[in-house]
Structure 1
Amino acid sequence: MLDPVDVDIADSDFLTNQSDLDDSSDSDIDNYCLAFTCKNRLFGRQKPLHVVLGAGVSADIILWRNKQISAYIFMGATLTWLLFERLGYSLVVFFCHASLLSLTALFLWSNFGSLVHVSAPEIPEIVVPQHLFMRTAISMTTTYNQALRSFGQVVFGTDIRDFLAVAATLWVLSVAGSRCGFLSFLYLVFVILMTVPALYENLEDSVDSIAEKALIEIKKQYAVLDGKVLQKLKKKVISYKNKKQP
């Protein structure tokens, strides 16, 4: 049974008009069920996590839908981090050693492969379509412009909450960057990306419940801070600007 407290006006209308369900299409019922089950999700999410992450190959890898491919990528990233960060390998040395090993193996294969009746491999040609570069450039330009607009809204806007959120994020990133190198920082982000979404998908009901309570408490504390500090500071800034104007 559904808790009446959790049922809003639209939900109650839907439930009281159960006689109309027979006349509704399956898609309408599915859309309603999706909207109801996604209520109070983290950050107001109204779509499944797989759809939020793109619903493609990248989402399958992040959520470990194909465990074999995800495991290979995770092990490859871990091996790269160990080689360059922990063992002190430089990119130039690694490239030269890998090229030397590949060159030696292919040379021996092409010259002695006939002894074991194995033909030498052919070097493949890579053909990249032009529209791929165009779509990539357009996507990067769109992302760059959106980032600039978001930055402008924070810098030239009057919402102190957005400013504090961006400032806190940059401060946390600066602290993390000062504690580890760039490659370690990228690997840490990669590990978080490969673990947190998958864990959240399995435990989203519990996480959303805890997060909702935490957000309510944060809003209460922010309301107190806003009333005692931020509003007074905002009034002082406005009055100072008014005095400066002729």
Structure 2
Amino acid sequence: MAGPAEEAPAAAVPPPASPRDGVTEEAASPAARPRGFWLLGEDKSVHRALGGGKTADVLLWKDKKTSAAVVGGATILWVLFEVVEYHLLTLVSHVLIVALTILFLWSNATVFINKSPPDIPEVQISEDLAVNVALRLRADINKALGLLREIALGHDLMKFLGVIVALWILSEVGELCELLRLMYIVVLILHTVPILYHKYQDQVDDFAAKAHAELCKQYKVLDAKVLSKIPRAPPKDKKQN
């Protein structure tokens, strides 16, 4: 007869953690995953990348009424100009004619019906708003000019190739559609891509990491076979004082 120690079942040993697709659970979590290949950088949310203010709320559909109004207004303008073939100058003129006629008749009708005239607020662009917009445009333009200068001086081949590809794509898109249609497509992209990336950020970043690694691999092959063989002028020796 077996003793009590022999009758008691042996404690089950937990199986070793098996990697899933070559990545453990700890490494698969967003906090433990290598973050050098994240599209938005380390510890940076989509909302913060879009500025973190009212614009980010609209693009991420946190303010659904404003987002729907922007998309709806852009769609109406696109239908008027592209489908109905309304002209911009004609549309602005007709809208102003109708608005001014209604306000003029309403203001004069209040004399006969003994009611106060419509309260039309005085709208002016403040100096602070104009200065802030000008400073923001100045900063963006200077940044773009600095990037173009850096590329023109031959300091970064990857940036040069990226800008050339982007400009080529832009030229092809310009041949396929007009400016207004392109602006409407941009509005739709701005109101769909950020929210989709916000929902599927991990999957997109994983794909971006693989694409980045493959691009680096191909660039090394190109550098070894072509770029490194291009003759270059020897560096100039610094003059000693």
TM-score in terms of structure 1 length = 0.76
Q: How big is the shift at 1:4?
A: 8.4
Q: How big is the shift at 1:111?
A: 4.2
187-196 vs 167-176, which moves further: 187-196
Query: Partners in 2 of 1:216 and 1:223 — Cα distance?
Result: 11
Q: How big is the shift at 1:104?
A: 2.8
Query: Partners in 2 of 1:59 and 1:227 — Cα distance?
Result: 43
Pairing 1:76–2:73 present: yes
Classify 1:123/1:61 alpha carbon distance in 2 versus 1 (closer, same or farther; 3 Å).
same
SS of the equivalent of 2:192 reads helix
Aligned with 1:90 (options 63, 69, 87): 87
SS of the equivalent of 2:226 reads helix
Query: Partners in 1 of 2:197 and 2:113 — Cα distance?
Result: 52
Aligned with 1:213 (options 198, 210, 214): 210
Bigger fraction of residues in helix: 1
Query: Partners in 2 of 1:58 and 1:152 — Cα distance?
Result: 30
Q: Structure with the greater relative contact order (CA < 8 A, sep ≥ 6): 1 or 2?
A: 2
Match of 2:180 in 1: 183
Q: How big is the shift at 1:91?
A: 1.5
Amino acid at match of 1:58: T
Q: How big is the shift at 1:165?
A: 0.8
Amino acid at match of 2:90: V
Amino acid at match of 1:93: T
- Once superposed, what is the RMSD of the aligned Cα atoms? 3.0
Amino acid at match of 1:140: L
Query: Partners in 2 of 1:97 and 1:37 — Cα distance?
Result: 58
Match of 2:47 in 1: 50
Q: How big is the shift at 1:175?
A: 0.4
Query: Partners in 2 of 1:117 and 1:181 — Cα distance?
Result: 52
Match of 1:194 in 2: 191
- Tell which structure's C-alpha radius of gyration is larger: 2
Identical aligned pairs, as a percentage? 38
Query: Partners in 2 of 1:108 and 1:78 — Cα distance?
Result: 31
SS of the equivalent of 2:117 reads coil
Aligned with 2:222 (options 225, 232, 237): 225
Amino acid at match of 1:98: V
Query: Partners in 1 of 2:126 and 2:103 — Cα distance?
Result: 29
Does the 8 Å contact 2:78/2:181 carry over to 1? yes
Amino acid at match of 2:63: N
Q: How big is the shift at 1:51?
A: 0.6
Amino acid at match of 1:206: Q
Classify 1:139/1:145 alpha carbon distance in 2 versus 1 (closer, same or farther; 3 Å).
same
1:40-189 aligned at under 5 Å gives the runs: 40-112=37-109, 119-189=116-186
Q: How big is the shift at 1:138?
A: 2.1
Q: How big is the shift at 1:191?
A: 1.1
Does the 8 Å contact 1:38/1:47 carry over to 2? no
Classify 1:109/1:164 alpha carbon distance in 2 versus 1 (closer, same or farther; 3 Å).
same
Query: Partners in 2 of 1:92 and 1:197 — Cα distance?
Result: 33
Q: How big is the shift at 1:92?
A: 1.4
Q: How big is the shift at 1:38?
A: 8.4
203-212 vs 38-47, which moves further: 38-47
Amino acid at match of 1:154: I
Over residues 57-105 of structure 1, what are the superposed CA-to-partner deviations in whole Å (9 max), with x where a residue is unaligned?
0000011101111001100011111212222211211011101211232
Amino acid at match of 1:87: V
Match of 1:25 in 2: none
Query: Partners in 1 of 2:152 and 2:194 — Cα distance?
Result: 31
TM-score in terms of structure 2 length = 0.77
